[in-house]
């Protein structure tokens, strides 16, 4: 995977996250906090979004050399507050991704999970994991939004590329 592919993947990742978060936020805190089913990784839209934030934050810390023992998110009281955290994290992620070189992609990242177990992998699959992880949970959030109140936005990568290239209008 090249640095340009990683940058493109993260541009898509940030776009899709914002697009889905905007629709979730329009539901309001009460609807986003309503439990919609135990079949999901997390039972509410807010908890699912908080998990996405926490996972992205935790991996960024690991890539930068720190292994957090606890992930944030559950203590964030509202979607507005979560969005503020998310926007700050995206800014930090963008700076990190912008500084990466081709050589950095092969750099070994030594980290511990939140239970303290040590691991070691190259940076590039860890970068890819975060985007893939978010795609999984965004699909769950889209289903939850449908169950709560209507239609979620299209967050597919092809839609993103078509909008970006001007072949279709943003909807």
Give domain status of residue 131, yes or no: yes
Q: Kindly state the average pLDDT of the residues 69-74.
A: 90
pTM value is 0.95
> Looking at residue 13, what is its pLDDT?
98
Reported as a pLDDT band with limits 50, 70 and 90, residue 73 is confident
Give domain status of residue 148, yes or no: yes
How far apart CA 107 and CA 125 sit, in angstroms, is: 11
> Looking at residue 1, what is its pLDDT?
86
> Looking at residue 166, what is its pLDDT?
96
Give domain status of residue 170, yes or no: no
Give domain status of residue 75, yes or no: yes
Query: Structurally, how many domains does the chain consist of?
Result: 1
Give me the domain span that covers residue 49.
3-164
Q: Which residues of 142-165 are buried (b: 16+ CB within 10 A; e: fewer)?
A: bebbeebeeebbbbeeebbeebee
Give domain status of residue 57, yes or no: yes
- Summarised one tens digit per residue, pLDDT across range 14-26 is 999 999 999 999 9
Arithmetic mean of pLDDT over the chain: 95
CATH of the domain at 60: 1.20.120.450
């Amino acid at each position: 995977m090249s640095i340009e592919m990683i940058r493109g993947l993260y541009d898509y990742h940030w776009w899709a996250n914002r697009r889905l978060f905007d629709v979730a936020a329009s539901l309001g805190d009460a609807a986003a906090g309503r439990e919609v089913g135990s079949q999901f990784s997390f039972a509410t839209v807010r908890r699912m979004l908080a998990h996405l934030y926490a996972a992205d934050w935790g991996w960024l810390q690991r890539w930068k050399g720190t292994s957090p023992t606890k992930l944030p998110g559950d203590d964030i009281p509202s979607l507005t507050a979560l969005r503020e955290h998310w926007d700050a994290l995206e800014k930090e992620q963008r700076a990190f991704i912008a500084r990466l070189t081709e050589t950095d992609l092969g750099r070994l990242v030594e980290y511990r999970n939140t239970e303290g177990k040590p691991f070691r992998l190259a940076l590039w699959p860890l970068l890819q994991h975060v985007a893939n992880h978010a795609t999984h949970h965004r699909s769950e959030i889209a289903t939850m939004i449908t169950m709560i109140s209507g239609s979620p936005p299209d967050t597919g990568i092809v839609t993103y590329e078509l909008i970006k290239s001007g072949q279709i209008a943003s909807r």
